[in-house]
């Protein structure tokens, strides 16, 4: 183990995923972002590599790894495509949640499907507003934004049902209609859209058992990992550019103000990474604070990194020729899509003071 809590397996995994991201995602990422396109073919390869069952037992095709491994994988994918990383994160969260908390009879089959690449969408607590009828036999409404919803087979929806707010499992083949969002700031290749849920008959089996916040924690760890990836991606675009771009007869990396921006990117990447690993390493203990602290910090830091990447590139950063503006937009999406920093801080304050 090194000081980040990474062992050799982690490092090998990290290098593997970084290579995969570079080979499979880099070439198309800007084009797909422009066109709101999902990486369908890469998705299949990712399934083949076992990227969807990180934390699942081997019995259902999982890799039985820890949350740090998942975070590492998500970060490395996000360095190249934050959208794709977000979708992979959701796939893992969905598989984990259903395996651990699901009550369906055919649960094992569903989880195996997901590991093989049939998509599971997630509608997050922060924006999902579906309602059950009083006797909890039917659910309907239009969800807020689901991630990984495009062509998904399964879906986890957050809903308020009688006294209880909880995650529900739905099969999207039944009475669910996905409407892809073609007009969003960022995360344009993450299959984001709305689900229109027509009256959908549910039973107790659709409800996930109380998860004591575990799903939310895992989501926060993953989102922090995506944020860290945005910082690292910002680094990858800003640093070489600053060394090559010459103004006033010198590479702009020679200017104090540019150096400070570059430093900010690296500082923020490290802070986010440390907090993400910290939260991931405490996941099994059910630590409540670490994932919130990671999420509130890393999402904010990703915003700074995306902004500084655009700024270091100047006018070029404002064009779609470079990924800087994509990081800038993707970071904002993470900030907007989940609970706001202010709301998270209130929760953190509550956890601390309660």
Partner 1 sequence: MNFNLTDDQKLVRDMVREFAEKELRDKAVEIDESREFPHDTLKKMAPLGLLGMVVPEEYGGAGMDFVTLAIAVEEISRVCASTGVIVAVQNTLAEYPILQFGTDELKKKYLPDMAAGKKIGCICLTEPTAGSDVAGFETTAVLDGDNYIINGSKRFITNGTEADIMIVFAYTDKEKGYHGMDVFVVEKDFPGVSVGKHENLMGIRATGNCEIVFEDCVVPKENLLGPPGEGFKTAMKILDVSRIDIGAQAVGIAQSALDEALKYSKERVQFGKPISSFQFIQGMLVEMATKIEAARLLVLQSAFLKDDGAPRFSLQSSMGKLYAATIAVECARLGVQIHGGVGYTKDYPIERIYRDAKILEIYEGTSEVQKIVIARALLK
Ligand X SMILES: Cc1cc2nc3c(=O)[nH]c(=O)nc-3n(C[C@H](O)[C@H](O)[C@H](O)COP(=O)(O)OP(=O)(O)OC[C@H]3O[C@@H](n4cnc5c(N)ncnc54)[C@H](O)[C@@H]3O)c2cc1C
| Site of interaction with ligand X (CB under 6 A) | 245, 247-248, 252, 255, 257-258, 311-312, 314-316, 318
> Whole-number minimum distance, CB 180 to partner 1, in Å?
12
Bridging pattern class, strands 154-161 and 120-123: parallel
CB-CB contact of 282 with 290 (8 Å)? yes
Q: Report the residue number, 65 or 313, with the smaller CB distance to partner 1.
A: 313
CB-CB contact of 172 with 152 (8 Å)? yes
* Residue 146 β-bridge partners: 123, 193
What Å distances lie between residue 250 and 242, 259, 278, CA to CA? 10, 13, 40
Interactions with partner 1, residue window 123-162 (CB under 8 A)? 126-127, 144-145
> Whole-number minimum distance, CB 305 to partner 1, in Å?
14
Which residue has tokens 């064009």?
A: 319
The HSE-up count of residue 56 (CA atoms within 13 Å, CB side) is 29
Residue 336 is inside which H or E element, if any?
helix 324-337
CB-CB contact of 290 with 274 (8 Å)? no
Between CA 99 and CA 197 the distance in angstroms is: 23
> Whole-number minimum distance, CB 298 to ligand X, in Å?
24
Interactions with partner 1, residue window 71-110 (CB under 8 A)? none
Which residue has tokens 């549910």?
A: 202
Site string for partner 1, 173-212 (x = CB under 8 A): --------x-xxxx--------------------------
Please select the residue that binds partner 1; options are 179, 247, 349, 351, rule is CB under 8 A.
247
Question: Does the footprint of partner 1 cover residue 346 (CB under 8 A)?
Answer: yes
Question: Does the footprint of partner 1 cover residue 342 (CB under 8 A)?
Answer: yes
Q: Report the residue number, 100 or 301, with the smaller CB distance to partner 1.
A: 301
Other beta carbons within 10 angstroms of residue 35's beta carbon come to 12
Which residue number is nearest to ligand X in terms of Cβ? 314
303 binds, among ligand X, partner 1, none (CB under 5 to 8 A by kind): partner 1
9 binds, among ligand X, partner 1, none (CB under 5 to 8 A by kind): none
127 binds, among partner 1, ligand X, none (CB under 5 to 8 A by kind): partner 1
Please select the residue that binds partner 1; options are 19, 164, 343, 351, rule is CB under 8 A.
343
Question: Does the footprint of partner 1 cover residue 49 (CB under 8 A)?
Answer: no
Q: Report the residue number, 171 or 255, with the smaller CB distance to ligand X.
A: 255
Q: Coil, helix or strand for 322?
A: coil
Residue 308 is inside which H or E element, if any?
helix 289-313
Other beta carbons within 10 angstroms of residue 5's beta carbon come to 14
Quick one: which of 217, 221, 340 has its CA closest to 272?
221
| 168: its two tokens | 């529900």
Contact residues for partner 1, defined by CB under 8 A? 34, 126-127, 144-145, 181, 183-186, 246-249, 252, 255, 257-258, 303, 307, 310-311, 314-315, 317-321, 325, 328-329, 332-333, 335-337, 340-343, 346
């Amino acid at each position: 183990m090194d000081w980040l809590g990474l062992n050799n397996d982690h490092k090998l995994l990290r290098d593997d995923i970084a290579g995969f991201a570079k080979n499979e995602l880099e070439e198309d990422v800007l084009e797909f972002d422009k066109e709101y396109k999902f990486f369908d073919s890469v998705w299949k390869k990712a399934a083949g590599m076992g990227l969807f069952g990180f934390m699942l037992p081997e019995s259902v095709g999982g890799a039985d790894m820890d949350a740090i491994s998942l975070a590492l994988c998500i970060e490395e994918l996000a360095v190249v495509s934050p959208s794709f990383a977000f979708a992979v994160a959701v796939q893992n969260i969905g598989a984990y949640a259903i395996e651990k908390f699901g009550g369906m009879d055919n649960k094992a089959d569903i989880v195996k499907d997901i590991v093989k690449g049939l998509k599971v969408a997630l509608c997050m607590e922060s924006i999902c507003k579906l309602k059950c009828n009083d006797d909890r036999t039917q659910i309907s409404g239009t969800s807020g934004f689901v991630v990984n919803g495009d062509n998904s087979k399964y879906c986890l929806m957050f809903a308020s049902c009688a006294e209880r707010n909880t995650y529900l499992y739905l099969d999207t083949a039944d009475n669910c209609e996905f409407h892809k969002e073609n007009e969003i700031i960022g995360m344009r290749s993450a299959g984001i859209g709305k689900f229109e849920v027509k009256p959908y008959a549910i039973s107790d089996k659709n409800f996930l058992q109380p998860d004591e916040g575990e799903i939310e924690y895992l989501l926060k760890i993953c989102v922090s990992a995506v944020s860290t990836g945005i910082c690292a991606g910002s680094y990858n675009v800003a640093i070489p550019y600053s060394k090559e771009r010459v103004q006033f007869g010198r590479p702009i990396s020679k200017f104090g103000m540019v150096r400070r921006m570059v430093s900010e990117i690296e500082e923020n990447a490290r802070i986010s990474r440390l907090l993400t690993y910290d939260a991931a390493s405490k996941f099994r203990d059910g630590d409540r604070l670490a994932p919130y602290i990671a999420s509130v910090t890393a999402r904010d830091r990703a915003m700074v990194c995306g902004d500084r990447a655009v700024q270091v590139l100047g006018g070029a950063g404002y064009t779609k020729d470079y990924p800087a503006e994509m990081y800038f937009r993707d970071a904002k999406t993470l900030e907007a899509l989940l609970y706001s920093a202010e709301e998270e801080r209130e929760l953190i304050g509550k956890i601390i003071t309660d």
